[in-house]
Amino acid sequence: MTSAEMKMEHDREYFSMRAAEAERAENQISQIRVAIAIHKQNHSDTMMHTHNLDQKKEAQHMWRATDNIEKEIEAIIGQEG
């Protein structure tokens, strides 16, 4: 194997590794987004289906807190991307 072929093989391995890392990061971001969406939906469901005003108010506060966390995470992702 020539030195040029060895360099090409090294580069191929390097970029393959980097692509796998990027894919893992994207999967993690996707999982975070799904988890947040599920929590927001659960709080929304509680707000819509409960007749207990205290529970409704608590669910609304939790939804807002989760929404604020989501916005912060999206801002961080936007800075990195």
Distance separating alpha carbons of residues 16 and 30, to the nearest angstrom: 21
pLDDT tier at 1 (50, 70, 90 boundaries)? confident
Global pTM reads: 0.79
For the stretch 30-66, pLDDT in tens is 999 999 999 999 999 999 999 999 999 999 999 999 9
Distance separating alpha carbons of residues 7 and 61, to the nearest angstrom: 57
Task: Count the Cβ atoms, other than its own, within 10 Å of residue 9.
Answer: 11
Distance separating alpha carbons of residues 64 and 60, to the nearest angstrom: 6
Domain total of the chain: 1
Distance separating alpha carbons of residues 59 and 37, to the nearest angstrom: 14
Query: Which structural domain, as residue segments, surrounds residue 40?
Result: 3-80
Structure tokens that stand for 60 in this block: 């609304």
